[in-house]
């Protein structure tokens, strides 16, 4: 497992995806971008998974794309192929059926920032640092990933990060709305797990409908709005809705099945 670039576990309806290249500040290789997309797509297809935590081994969340591959895999005719792999990973996180909680620490730069921005919720340790260094490398950041950053951090902060390439700390990220909260380093993963466990205990169809509705509101896309409406309609006739009402009347904890 120590040699696996991604560590994936599923227990009690919560999946954990850990980036595992701590000696390289969890820099993400082309193969890892592909693996991230495949992993999140597989977890989305697993009905038992009700929440996903995205985290990392070591001191840093991720330094972004592995610059050691840029000359061979991110130059010339290969550049668009590489960017497509980036975008596929961002999309797999963004469009995951279960909510994704990112637990962030240390550096969260470039493509690592893109993954975090694609998540639904973000909590961070006090030492977390955020940057979009594309302008300092002479690259353009993918539009779909930039949409996530604008949605997560707001227009002004997205512009500042993209135009300057400068870093912001966890406090500035919290004030911009990028983070849900800052927690002590030793509480980071327990807090992410607590949020995931709370989500997993709720009605999956309801959570999914809410995620789709929020995404539709942010995108303004009519197709997204229709998917959200259809998902909401499914909850009305669901057994979970009946269970929720029965549990409320009996003053007991509901047991939701996702049906």
With contact defined as beta carbons under 8 Å apart, do 108 and 62 qualify? yes
What pLDDT score does 124 carry?
A: 98
Closest by Cα among 101, 141, 132 to 118: 101
Half-sphere exposure of 233 (CA within 13 A, CB side): 6
Closest by Cα among 93, 178, 164 to 128: 178
What pLDDT score does 74 carry?
A: 55
> What is the homologous superfamily of the domain 6-200 according to CATH?
2-enoyl-CoA Hydratase; Chain A, domain 1 (3.90.226.10)
CA atoms of 147 and 143, how far apart (whole Å): 6
Q: In Å, how far are 18, 28, 111, 249 from 4, measured between CA atoms?
A: 10, 12, 19, 48
Helix extents (H) in 19-58: 30-45
What pLDDT score does 84 carry?
A: 85
* Series of mean pLDDT values for 10-residue runs along the chain (259 residues): 84 97 94 96 96 97 85 62 86 96 97 96 98 86 88 95 96 97 98 98 94 91 93 90 85 85
* Strand-strand pairing, 51-56 and 14-19: parallel
Domain ranges for the chain, please list them.
Answer: 6-200, 203-250
With contact defined as beta carbons under 8 Å apart, do 130 and 108 qualify? yes
Q: In Å, how far are 67, 72, 98, 114 from 79, measured between CA atoms?
A: 13, 9, 31, 17
What pLDDT score does 244 carry?
A: 83
């Amino acid at each position: 497992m120590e040699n696996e670039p991604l560590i994936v576990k599923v227990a009690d309806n919560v999946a954990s995806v850990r980036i595992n290249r701590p000696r390289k500040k969890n820099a993400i290789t082309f193969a890892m971008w592909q693996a991230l997309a495949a992993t999140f797509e597989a977890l989305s297809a697993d009905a038992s998974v009700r929440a996903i935590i995205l985290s990392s081994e070591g001191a840093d969340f991720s330094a972004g794309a592995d610059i050691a591959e840029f000359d061979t895999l991110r130059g010339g005719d290969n550049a668009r192929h590489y960017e497509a792999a980036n975008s596929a990973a961002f999309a797999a996180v963004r469009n995951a059926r279960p909510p994704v909680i990112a637990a962030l620490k240390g550096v969260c730069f470039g493509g690592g920032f893109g993954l975090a921005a694609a998540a639904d919720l973000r909590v961070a340790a006090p030492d977390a640092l955020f940057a979009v260094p594309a302008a300092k490398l002479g690259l353009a950041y993918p539009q779909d990933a930039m949409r996530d950053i604008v949605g997560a951090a707001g227009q002004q902060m997205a512009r500042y990060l993209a135009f300057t390439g400068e870093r912001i700390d966890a406090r500035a990220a919290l004030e911009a709305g990028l983070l849900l909260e800052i927690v002590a380093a030793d509480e980071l993963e327990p807090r992410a797990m607590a949020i995931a466990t709370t989500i997993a205990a709720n009605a999956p169809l309801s959570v999914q409908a809410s995620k789709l509705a929020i995404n539709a509101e942010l995108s303004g896309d009519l197709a997204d709005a229709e998917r959200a409406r259809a998902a909401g309609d499914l909850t009305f006739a669901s057994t979970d809705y009946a269970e929720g009402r029965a549990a409320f009347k009996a003053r007991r904890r509901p047991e939701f099945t996702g049906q």
